[in-house]
Amino acid sequence: MSVTRHKKTNLLPSLKDVGEPAERHMSVTSVQITDRERFLEQVEKIIQSHALRKAESLCRLLRYLAEHAITQPGVPVKEYQIATEVFGRSEDFDPQSDSAIRVQAGRLRLKLLDYYAHEGANDRVVVEMPNGVYSLSFHFRDITAPAVAAQPAMAVQPAPVAIAVERRKPRQSRKGWIIAITGLAVGLAVALIAIVMLWMALSIARQENRNESAAVPPALRDFWSQFASGPDAPWVIFSNAAFVGRPETGMRYMNPARDSGDLILDHYTGVGEVLAVHELDEVFNRLNHPIEVKRGSLFTLDDAKKNDLIFVGSPAENLTLLDLPGSQEFVFRRSDVAGHKGELGILNVHPEADEPAIFYPTDSTQPLTEDYAIVALVPGLNPDRHVLILAGTTTIGTQAAVEYVCAKDSLEELLGRLGTRSGNVVEPFEALLRVKVTRGVPVGTQLLAVRKRQ
C-alpha cells in the first residue's frame, strides 16, 4: 500500500454528502460514509509510530486489512487469505494446525490499543480490530480542546465599571478551579479506561495462547508428552566436537594420540545442530514448556540422572553419548571396510530382509546428496527420566532427524508404525531415516525401519 494520497472514490457517499454529524462514530463498513484518504493516512501514521515502527510483519498485516476494509467493506477476511497473501505461506497452509495468523492478529490488536493509549490519544480517526474477526473498523471521535477562560477585550471604562470587574474576580477564580478539577477527573477517567482496555487485551492474548496450546496436533502432543509434561525443562544437549587450532589459522579434529588436551577448542558445532535447536525451541513454545540448552562438552553424568535429555548429534561428535545407554539396533560405527575406511556409518545390528548391514552417506569426496539418521527413545540412567537421541552421520542428517519429530505428518507416520494410539505413552524405540540432500539442505526424509526396544 502506498503512502501517497489517493483520490476519493465514488463507491460510497462522501462525508460532505452525508453531513458532518453522520461521521461521529461509524464503522467503515457502513454504507453511509467513506473517507479513504483520511483512513489510509491514519494507518500510515500508526505504522510510523513507535508502537509499530519495528514490527514489519504487523505493518504488512495492518496495511492489508485496511485496504480490504476500505475497498471491500463488509466482506470478511479469511485466515487462509492472510497466511498466503500477506505472509507468503504455501497453498497447503492449515489454520487448524498452525496458529501463526491468530498470534499475529492478537499482537496487532495489542499494538493498536497501545498506540491509542499513548501516541494516538488525540487522533481524531480511530482504527480498531474487533475481537474474533480479521477486519478493521474506522470511526471519528470528537477531541475536546482544553478549556481556556475567555478574556474579552476591555475598553477604557469609567472608574465604577473597573471596580465592578475587580469584584467579579473571585467568581472567575472559582470557575477556574472547577475547570481544573473537571479536567483532572476526565484525565483520570481516560487513564482508567486505557488501563482496563489493556488489561482486557492482555487477558485476550493469554486466552489465545491457551487456545493455541489446545490446537497443537495430537501426534505432536503425544510424542513429546514425556518431555513437556513435567515440572522441569528438558535439557537439549548439542554436539560440539573437540578441535585443535584456530579458525584464522586452520582447525582440525583433535587426535588424542598426538594432541594435548590443553589445545582443545570446543566452541563450534554444525549448522544442522543450530537449526535443530531452533526447531525444538519452536515446538516447545507451542507446547508452552521451556527447554534448557547445553553443549555436549559441558555435560556430566550427574546431569543425566536429574534431567530429561534430548541429544542432538551423533556419538562421533557428541562424545558424552558414549558414556550413556544408547541405541542398540542402529549404532554409529566408523568403518574399516575397504572403500569406506574411516567413514562414519550406521550399523544395522539385526538387518531384516533386503536391508543392508550398514548405511553410509554419500562418499566424502562427492557433494552430499544422501545421509542417514536415527531417532531413538531409550531408557536413561534414571528410570524416571527420558532420553531421546536425534542424530545423523553428518550435521545435515541431524537437522533432518529433528525436523522429522517436529512435524505433524511425519510424527503421525512414526506413531502409526509403532502402533501407538492417540493419548498413549510412546514406548522406547529406534528408527532409521534416509535423508535426501540438495545444496546442503535436507529436502526429503524417508522412514526406512523401526525397531521397538525390548
Instruction: Tell me the domain boundaries of the chain.
Output: 15-143, 218-452
Which residue in the block uniquely carries the three cell numbers 583433535?
254
Strand order from edge to edge, sheet including 358-359: 330-334, 344-348, 358-359
pLDDT score for 291: 92
**Residue 349: is its pLDDT beyond 60?**
yes
Q: Which three cell numbers stand for residue 20?
A: 458532518
Q: Greater confidence, 292 or 262?
A: 292
pLDDT band, very low/low/confident/very high, at 434 (cuts 50, 70, 90): very high
| pLDDT exceeds cutoff 70 at 15 | no
DSSP annotation string for 236-276: EEE----EEEETTTEEEE--TTTS-GGG-B-----HHHHHH
Higher pLDDT, 436 or 241: 436
Answer with the residue of higher pLDDT: 3 or 201.
201
Residue 13 has pLDDT above 50, yes or no: no
Q: Mean pLDDT across the stretch 11-34?
A: 38
> For the residues 57-65, what does the mean pLDDT come to?
90
- Report DSSP state, residue 442: E
Mind listing the pLDDT tens digit for each residue in 87-126?
888 888 888 778 888 888 888 888 898 889 888 888 989 9
Confidence (pLDDT) at 114 = 85
Q: Would you place residue 27 in the very low, low, confident or very high pLDDT band (cuts 50, 70, 90)?
A: very low
DSSP string, 276-287: HHHHHHHHHHHT
Express as a percent the part of the chain with pLDDT over 70: 78
Q: Residues near 78 by Cβ (< 8 Å), separated by ≥ 6? A: 134
The mean per-residue pLDDT over the stretch 225-240 comes to: 88
How far is 317 from 397, CA to CA, in rounded Å? 13
Which of 278, 284, 290 is CA-nearest to residue 216? 284
Cα(439)–Cα(368) distance, integer angstroms: 8
277 vs 401: CA distance, rounded Å: 12
Q: Report whether pLDDT(80) > 80.
A: yes
Per-residue b or e along 392-421, where b marks 16 or more CB atoms closer than 10 Å to that residue's CB? bbbbbbbbbbbbbbbbbebbbbbbeebebe
Query: Tell me, what's the pLDDT at 153?
Result: 42
Q: Is the pLDDT score of 3 beyond 60?
A: no
Q: pLDDT-based confidence at 159, cuts 50/70/90?
A: very low
Pick the CATH number of 15-143 from 1.10.600, 3.30.70, 1.20.1630, 1.10.10: 1.10.10
More confident residue, 154 or 133: 133
Question: Once rounded to an integer, what is the mean pLDDT over residues 156-179?
Answer: 48
CA 420, 377, 392, 236 torsion: positive or negative?
Answer: positive
Taken in order 161, 162, 166, 171, the sign of the CA dihedral is positive
> Which pLDDT belongs to residue 324?
64
Q: What are phi and psi of 8, to 5 degrees?
A: -65, 135
Architecture of domain 218-452: 2-Layer Sandwich (3.30)
Has residue 151 got a pLDDT over 50?
A: no
- Indicate whether 345 pLDDT > 70: yes
Q: Give the model confidence (pLDDT) of 393-410 as tens digits.
A: 999 999 999 999 999 999
Q: Which of 37-46, 242-251, 274-283, 348-357 has the lowest mean pLDDT?
A: 242-251
Q: Which of 26-30, 243-247, 286-290 has the lowest mean pLDDT?
A: 26-30
